Amino acid sequence: MKTVKKWASNIVTTILFILLIVMIFVVISSKASGGEPQAFGYQLKTVLSGSMEPGIKTGSIIAVKPGGDMTRFKNGDVITFKSEDNVIVTHRIDKVLKNGDQISYKTKGDNNKTEDLNPVLSNNVIAEYTGFTIPYLGYFADYTKSKTGGALLLLLPGLILLGYAGFSIWKTISQLEGKMNKSIEVESSNKNT
């Protein structure tokens, strides 16, 4: 039984420590990249509208792959681009338009009835959607971009780890005191006999 408790304690400590390291990585990478966390060449974006529902829900986190030839896309691909008013949008390509060397895309949100008004120039495409989505985590990610959220993201795992370490120390001290009390009782009964 003690072996199981020891293993469980080690697993919990390891998970909390890894969580702390991951949170530090996310905060540092999001600050270094100007707000969007990156991992292994992918960017994580928060979905702020329901234009791609039901496939991509509002408040989801999606992974997109930046870089490469932005003229390679075809009908049905989902791309992330900067609109004319510098808003980041993720929509599906409805048509590929070629005008000499210039390629642009007519896009449409899956949940929208009509295509987007203006074609997207291939120069404005930022990345390709990978199909990886985590629903509703975007609300939390948006909060972490604030000063309070960023501080909480760093402090909370650290405080949990510190609290768990304090609990482990208290538990160990209690067990040692119990053993010492039993040892004193045994010595005392041995002296009386």
Q: Just list the catalytic residues.
A: 49
Residue 71 pLDDT > 80: yes
**What residue spans define the domains of the chain?**
1-35+145-172, 36-137
- Could you tell me the pLDDT band of residue 13, with boundaries at 50, 70 and 90? confident
Could you tell me which of 142, 146, 100 has the C-alpha nearest to residue 122?
100
CATH 2.10.109.10 is right for the domain spanning 36-137: yes
Q: Nearest CA to 56 among 129, 145, 147, 148?
A: 129
Query: Residue type at 100?
Result: G
Phi, psi of 86 (to 5 degrees): 60, 25
Stretch among 41-45, 87-91, 147-151 having the lowest mean pLDDT: 147-151
Let me know: does 16 contact 113? Beta carbons within 8 Å: no
Lowest mean pLDDT among 52-61, 82-91, 113-122, 130-139: 130-139
Answer whether 0.75 is exceeded by the pTM: no
Q: Find, among 17, 21, 20, 37, the residue nearest to 141 by Cα.
A: 37
| Helix, strand and coil percent figures for the chain, each rounded to 5 | 45, 25, 30
